Every structure is written in structure tokens, then in C-alpha cells.
Amino acid sequence: MGFPILKTRVAQETLGWLLAAYLRLVKRTNRIVVEPADIYERVRPGLPLIIAMWHGQHIMIPFSRPDWMPACSLVSRHGDGGFNAVALRHLGIGAIRGSGALGRKVREKGGASAFLAMVKRLAAGDSMVLTADIPKRARIAGVGIIQLARASGRPIHPIAVVTSRRINFNSWDRASIGLPFGRCAIVVGDAITVARDADEATVEAARLALEAGLDAVHARAYELVGGADPGAGLREKQLKALAAPGTAA
């Protein structure tokens, strides 16, 4: 049934403020290592960029934005999107409401209008933060983020943010939230660029490169904090399930 009161503006503002305050506490009390160590100095002259993450990282990804980098994030119109948008605002990150989707659901989830808004924000100098995988397709990169890079001419950087002390949820995306007083690894992968005239094969190659890049930064981040990635292997399981007879595309 849910709790309708949690959808009120007052509740969303309160929950968002509490989440932002908690994440600030986690960031202040964790020893953070960034790899490569000079990555922010390297990318700064070429801003804006597209920050790509796996969906399970959406709670922790604000750690990856330095204070001097103006940024916006794509936030779902439904579920916990409201207070997540509030939390991002308190953390200095703007929000564009919309979701990745398949087929006809793109319009109802605001995907088309959100895509145009992201292109405009990138043109205005804001970096964009968004998940590479769409809901219920964990660790399978969608083509939307590749098309955003193609339309905007901006590079994609795969990023992972992992803490040694954390709570791992048994959700479809194996989401996690960091805990205070531990170690944190922020790992940034090589840029993936997509030409405006890229053909279908080139777009698919970039999508696969993004999957590989996100897998690599996650593996390295978990290695740095001495843990195992709870989402490792999700892609293979889901591709197997999608290939099963009677599975909807």
C-alpha cells in the first residue's frame, strides 16, 4: 500500500535534507582515495563531461563531484526520485526528472524531454550524472547515454564510488550505501567519445566499451577497499533470463 504521507512536499524535503546530511557525514569520516590521483586536474579543461555509473551506485555518486564542477543528474519521476532530487539540491547538484525506459515507456517516463534537457544543460556547461543501465536491467548499459554523448559531443567517464563499510541491499541493482568511519575509493575510467555521425555499429561498440569500463572501475574500487562487488555477474544472469523462452523483450 505504501505511505502516502511520504509523497508530500514536506516529507520529501525532510527526507532529502536528512539523506544529504548523512552523505556529508559519510564523506567527512571516510579516508578517500581517488584513482587516477590527478584525474580532476586532467578533465577540468575539457568540461563538461558525462559521468556514468551503474544504478546501484546512485546513492554514493555525489562523492565523485568536486565542488568546482557544476553538475546535474537525471532523477526518476517516480518512487524515491522526489527526495533524491532534494538531496542532490542540498549537495549542490541539479536534477532533471525523467527515466530511462524501453519502447513506448520512454514517453510516459519523460525520457524524451529529459534527453533534450540534458543536451541543453551540457551545452550550458553543466556536467551530467546518470546511470548507464535502465531500471530492471542492472549492469546492461542502455543506448540512451551513448546517444547523449553523440548528440552533445561530450565524453563519458565511467565512475565507481565504494566504501569499505557499507550496507548492501538485496535489490535488483544490488544498491549500497556507505557507512561512516571507513575508507572510500573513487575510481574514474578512461573517456569514451562518440562522434556525431557515428553509425549503429559504432554506437554499439561504445555501449559495450562503457559496460567494460564500468566493470573495470567497480572491480578496482572494491579492490582498493578490500571488498567484493555484490553486483558482479548480474549482467550474465539477466542476459540468460532475457534469452529464456517466453521472456518479454
60 close to 176: Cβ distance less than 8 angstroms: yes
Confidence band for 153, pLDDT divided at 50, 70 and 90: very high
pLDDT one-digit tens code per residue, 200-236: 999 999 999 999 999 999 999 999 999 999 999 999 9
**Which residue ranges make up each domain of the chain?**
4-243
5 pLDDT exceeds 90?
no
- Asked if residue 10 has pLDDT above 60, the reply is yes
Other beta carbons within 10 Å of 38: 9
**Which pLDDT value is given to residue 103?**
47
Name which of 69, 171, 154, 68 is nearest 118 in CA terms. 154
Confidence label for 86 from pLDDT (cuts 50, 70 and 90): very high
